[in-house]
Amino acid sequence: MSLPKHWQWRAEWLVQAILEAVLCRLPGGLVHRLGALAGGVAWHLLPRRRNVVLRNLRIALADTHSPDDIPRIARRSFQLTGANLFSAAHSARLSDRRLREVLHVENPELLENAAANGKGVVLLLAHMGNWELLSRIVRFFPPGSRGGAFYRPLNNPLLDKRTLDRRQADGVRMFSKHDGPHQAAAFLREGGVVGILSDQRVGMLGEVVPFFGRLTRSSPLPSLLARRTKSNVVALALNTAGPGRWSARYVPVDGPPTTPACMDALERAMRPRPDDIFWFQDRWRVYLGPEHPFRKWLGETDGLSKKPHRALLWLTGSPDGWQPPDEWLHPDLHYEAVLAPGRTPPAWLPDDTPVHQPPDSSDRDALRLALTQIDRAQALPLDFVLAPHPPHALAKACRREGIPMVALEI
């Protein structure tokens, strides 16, 4: 361990300790408003994160909101994220009495019924509201219930220990993602309630399911644990009810606890308050590369999603009639093409394929502007750009716009 890294960890720990010590002495409503102000400033200062949030919301809300609504919701999401991050430091030290004043559980009977058989409950969680309260909501569980949760260890070991101690202060059993599912399964068999944050993206190990109408990969862990232990599954919505106040609501899983049924319940928990969700991770990112084609990402899925993937073929330097390999074709993937004036689209593309002209200039800024215009021409954003031998400036423009680009050799 290098000395600079050692001191960096200590500095990060000290900043968090001071911030938490200051915020916990202020009124909760004031802390919330200060955080909202910081989130509003971040909206202007973090353009790349702003693009990620906008992209997520365009996918999640394409079927329920107009394009004009998305920026307003995204900006409000920044504000509420800041408010809840500040509030997390404040609520971490609240007494049991004060905790019950700021957090209200709307339908505790749903969890009570799920736990009544004594076989444990898998609790589907999302990064929404003041999610640090999720480790304290155990105080609202049915009498005698034990709470547990999965967590990802932080890179800073000093902050990791501080966060872990704080989350365990209310008696919550924490399971590291490195521990495997066996300890959590044993905990469930003893009647425990295990929370699993299930809204974030996963890689190729995830199961292909629809989430907000888009086929993607999601963690099969909640379904796997529930089926192994015969436990019930319930989703939890944690929403901001006002400055320094939150409400929790349980949402049932319809039918057997398969991964699609679990993600449907989590979506129903999240959908009413899209502005109160932490959208800062590129949730619907596709994992692609020359050796990882799109068909490998979604597999041989027969069903189509309500919100198909959208890709752009950059064909300005390709031979006439060029076609990507079959593994880059999929029923859920809709292509658009960029062609020089006068060129005919390849015959393999459907007749209704949108065709765009490249910009007059090939510098990065002109390409960025062209990508932005093509991306915003439809409600759903571009998922990736596919190009044979793309110009170097196009790769730079894609990186700046946060759009993945895959270069295929001819």
Segment 188-194 shows an average pLDDT of 95
Do 47 and 93 belong together in one domain?
Answer: yes
- Domain that includes residue 147, residue range: 3-276
Do 107 and 197 belong together in one domain?
Answer: yes
User: Is the pLDDT higher at 169 or at 288?
Assistant: 288
User: Is the pLDDT higher at 282 or at 94?
Assistant: 282
Question: Is the distance from CB of 183 to CB of 190 less than 8 angstroms?
Answer: no
Residues 156, 344: Cα–Cα separation, whole Å: 55
Q: Is the dihedral of CA 48, 382, 277, 168 positive or negative?
A: negative
Do 102 and 185 belong together in one domain?
Answer: yes
Q: Which CATH number goes with the domain that contains 395?
A: 3.40.50
Residues 18, 71: Cα–Cα separation, whole Å: 34
Tens digit of each residue's pLDDT (9 = 90 or more) over 298-349: 988 766 789 999 999 999 888 888 899 999 999 999 999 999 988 999 999 9
Do 246 and 302 belong together in one domain?
Answer: no
Predicted model pTM: 0.92
Question: Is the distance from CB of 281 to CB of 216 less than 8 angstroms?
Answer: no
Do 353 and 398 belong together in one domain?
Answer: yes
285 within a domain of the structure (yes/no): no
Confidence class for position 110, pLDDT limits 50, 70, 90? very high
pLDDT at 3: 57
Do 18 and 153 belong together in one domain?
Answer: yes
Q: How many domains does the chain have?
A: 2
Segment 230-247 shows an average pLDDT of 96
Do 304 and 269 belong together in one domain?
Answer: no
Render 64-127 in DSSP notation, one character per residue.
Answer: TS-TTHHHHHHHHHHHHHHHHHHHHHHHTT--HHHHHHHEEES-HHHHHHHHTTSS-EEEEE-S
* Domain end among 276, 311, 346: 276
286 within a domain of the structure (yes/no): no
Relative to beta strand 173-176, strand 121-125 is unpaired
Do 102 and 227 belong together in one domain?
Answer: yes
pLDDT at 303: 63
Do 47 and 186 belong together in one domain?
Answer: yes
pLDDT at 2 over 70: no
Do 152 and 114 belong together in one domain?
Answer: yes
pLDDT at 256: 96
Tens digit of each residue's pLDDT (9 = 90 or more) over 154-174: 888 888 888 788 778 777 888
Q: Of 11-25, 36-50, 232-246, where does mean pLDDT reach its minimum?
A: 11-25
pLDDT at 253: 97
Tens digit of each residue's pLDDT (9 = 90 or more) over 62-83: 999 999 999 999 999 999 999 9
